[in-house]
C-alpha cells in the first residue's frame, strides 16, 4: 500500500522556486526611517546562506537598496556570492532615504503613491545609476514596504525593469496601495490596476501568500471599498486568519508546508519567498534577537528546501530567469 508521502506526490506538480533577499540597511525593524544614518554591517552575514544555497542549488535574487550599492567595499562580496550561487542582483527602492530626499507632509514611511511623480522618478534614476560601479543593469525590482501602485508601476514601465516582486496578496498597506485581491502566481498586470492581469511588459511575481479560500481576497477587497472604516479590521483578518504565507520569517515549518501544498493543489506553479539580509544578523529583527534565533531560521530554511525536494520536482530560478520563461509576452 502506498505511503502517505507517495500519495501526496501523486497529487503534486512541478514548481518553480524564487528566493529573494532584500539586501538593505539596518534600523527598519525599529521604526527608523533615517535619510542619513543607514549602517549596512549586516550585509556580510549573507555568507551564512552559502552552504544552504549551494546544497539545494538555490539561485537567489539579491535586491539591493541604494544605501547598500553606495558601499563600494561590499561590491566584491555581492558579486562573488551572486556568481557562486548563479543568482542575480536586482534593485530595491527605499524611497525614504534614496536621493533626492525631500520632506513631505505625511507620517513616515510615506507611501510611494503619495510621493510626487517627478520626485519618485528621480529616486528611481538615482537607484539604477548606483549600480554602474557594480557593472550591473538591474532588471528585477522590488518596492520598499511593498508600496507598489499605479504611479510607481507607470515609472517602472519606462525603465529597464522586466520583472517586479512588490505585490503582497491579502495584505493592506498604510496609505495604499492595497493588494488584497492580487493573484498568487505570476502575471502581467494591468498598469492602471496592478492587482488585475493586463498587458504590461513587466512580469509581476507576488510573494507567495495563499488564501485559505480561493476567493477570500476579492471578498475582502469588496468589504474594504464599500464599508468606510473597515480597512484595519479587513487587514487584520486577511493577514492573520484567512491567509497562509509561504514566508519563512513569518511562519513556522509546518505552516510553510501546509501553505505550499494548498497552493500546489490549486494549480500554483511558482513559490516566491523573501526575507531581509538584516534578519541574518542578531538583534536587527525582533524575531531574531540572538545568534540562536538566526541559526534556527537557517535550519528552518534547510528543512523546508529538503521537504520541497521530497514533495515535488522543484527548480530554483532568479526573477529574471523566470521572466524569460514568459518570453512569448512582449
Please list the pLDDT of the chain residue by residue as tens digits (330 residues): 434 554 444 446 899 999 999 999 998 776 666 677 789 999 999 999 999 999 999 999 999 999 999 999 999 999 999 999 999 999 999 999 999 999 898 888 889 999 999 999 999 999 999 999 999 999 999 999 999 999 999 999 999 999 999 999 999 877 778 899 999 999 999 999 999 999 999 999 999 999 999 888 888 888 888 887 788 898 899 999 999 999 999 999 999 999 999 999 999 999 999 999 999 999 999 999 999 999 999 999 999 999 999 989 999 999 999 999 987 665
- Between CA 150 and CA 167 the distance in angstroms is 12
CATH number, domain 10-210+246-324? 3.20.20.510
- Between CA 208 and CA 186 the distance in angstroms is 10
Are residues 47 and 21 in contact, defined by beta-carbon separation less than 8 angstroms? no
What 8-state DSSP symbol labels residue 106?
S
Determine the distance from the C-alpha atom of residue 289 to the mean position of all C-alpha atoms in its chain, rounded to a whole number: 22
Are residues 263 and 312 in contact, defined by beta-carbon separation less than 8 angstroms? no
Determine the distance from the C-alpha atom of residue 298 to the mean position of all C-alpha atoms in its chain, rounded to a whole number: 18
Query: Where do runs of H (alpha helix) occur along 189-290?
Result: 216-226, 231-240, 253-265
Amino acid at each position: 500500500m502506498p505511503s502517505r508521502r507517495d500519495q501526496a506526490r501523486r497529487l503534486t506538480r512541478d514548481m518553480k522556486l524564487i528566493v529573494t533577499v532584500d539586501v538593505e540597511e539596518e534600523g527598519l525593524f525599529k521604526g527608523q526611517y533615517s535619510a542619513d544614518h543607514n549602517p549596512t554591517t549586516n550585509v556580510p552575514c549573507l555568507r551564512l546562506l552559502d552552504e544552504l544555497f549551494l546544497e539545494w542549488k538555490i539561485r537567489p535574487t539579491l535586491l539591493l537598496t541604494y544605501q547598500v550599492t553606495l558601499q563600494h567595499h561590499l561590491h566584491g562580496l555581492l558579486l562573488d556570492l551572486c556568481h557562486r550561487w548563479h543568482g542575480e542582483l536586482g534593485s530595491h527602492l527605499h524611497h525614504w532615504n534614496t536621493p533626492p530626499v525631500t520632506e513631505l507632509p505625511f507620517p513616515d514611511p510615506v507611501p510611494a503613491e503619495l510621493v510626487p511623480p517627478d520626485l519618485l522618478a528621480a529616486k528611481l534614476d538615482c537607484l539604477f545609476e548606483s549600480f554602474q560601479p557594480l557593472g550591473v543593469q538591474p532588471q528585477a525590482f522590488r518596492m520598499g514596504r511593498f508600496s507598489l501602485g499605479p504611479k510607481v508601476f507607470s515609472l517602472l514601465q519606462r525603465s529597464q525593469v522586466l520583472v517586479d516582486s512588490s505585490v503582497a496578496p491579502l495584505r493592506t498597506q498604510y496609505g495604499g496601495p492595497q493588494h488584497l485581491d492580487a493573484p498568487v502566481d505570476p502575471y502581467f498586470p494591468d498598469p492602471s490596476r496592478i492587482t488585475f492581469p493586463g498587458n504590461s511588459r513587466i512580469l509581476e511575481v507576488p510573494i507567495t501568500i495563499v488564501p485559505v479560500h480561493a476567493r477570500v481576497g476579492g471578498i475582502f477587497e469588496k468589504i474594504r471599498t464599500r464599508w468606510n472604516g473597515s480597512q484595519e479590521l479587513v487587514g487584520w483578518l486577511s493577514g492573520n486568519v484567512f491567509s497562509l504565507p509561504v514566508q519563512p520569517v513569518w511562519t513556522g515549518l509546518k505552516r510553510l508546508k501546509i501553505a505550499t501544498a494548498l497552493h500546489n493543489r490549486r494549480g500554483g506553479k511558482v513559490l516566491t519567498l523573501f526575507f531581509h539580509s538584516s534578519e541574518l544578523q542578531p538583534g536587527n529583527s525582533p524575531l531574531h534577537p540572538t545568534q540562536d534565533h538566526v541559526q534556527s531560521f537557517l535550519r528552518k530554511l534547510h528543512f523546508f528546501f529538503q521537504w520541497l525536494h521530497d514533495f515535488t520536482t522543484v527548480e530554483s530560478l532568479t526573477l529574471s530567469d523566470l521572466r524569460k520563461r514568459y518570453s512569448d509576452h512582449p
